[in-house]
Amino acid sequence: MAPTPSLRAAQNKSSPCPDIDRFLARLPAATAASFSPEQLAAIKLHFTMRNRHRHAIDWRRKLPWLNCYLVVLAGRDHHAS
């Protein structure tokens, strides 16, 4: 899907980020173009924080015969008690 002029304008409001580009490409063009620079910065922060904590065990496998996937994660609990 080629970006529309309004989608390109929305993407140019912040620094290039492949995650934001994919996110914006999945939205209607008018919605993608409506984000302010502050909103795009908050979305970018979300994407950068997704992979912040590494897990001691991070095992991910597709189970094609069940049409699903299995994820096993284990590590220290970093939440406040």
What is the model's pLDDT at position 11?
A: 47
Q: Is the CB of residue 20 less than 8 Å from the CB of residue 11? A: yes
First-to-last alpha carbon distance for the chain, in angstroms, is 46
Place of tokens 């904590």: 53
What is the model's pLDDT at position 50?
A: 67
Distance CA 44, CA 53 (A): 17
Given a cut of 60, whether residue 4 has pLDDT beyond it is no
Does residue 79 lie in a domain region? no
Does residue 61 lie in a domain region? yes
Q: How many domains does the chain have?
A: 1
Does residue 35 lie in a domain region? yes
Does residue 65 lie in a domain region? yes
Does residue 63 lie in a domain region? yes
pLDDT 10s digits, 8-59: 554 455 456 787 888 899 999 999 999 999 998 888 888 877 666 678 898 9
Does residue 80 lie in a domain region? no
Distance CA 33, CA 76 (A): 40
Domain of 44, in residue numbers: 5-74
What is the model's pLDDT at position 19?
A: 79
pTM value is 0.46
Nearest CA to 22 among 39, 43, 53?
A: 43
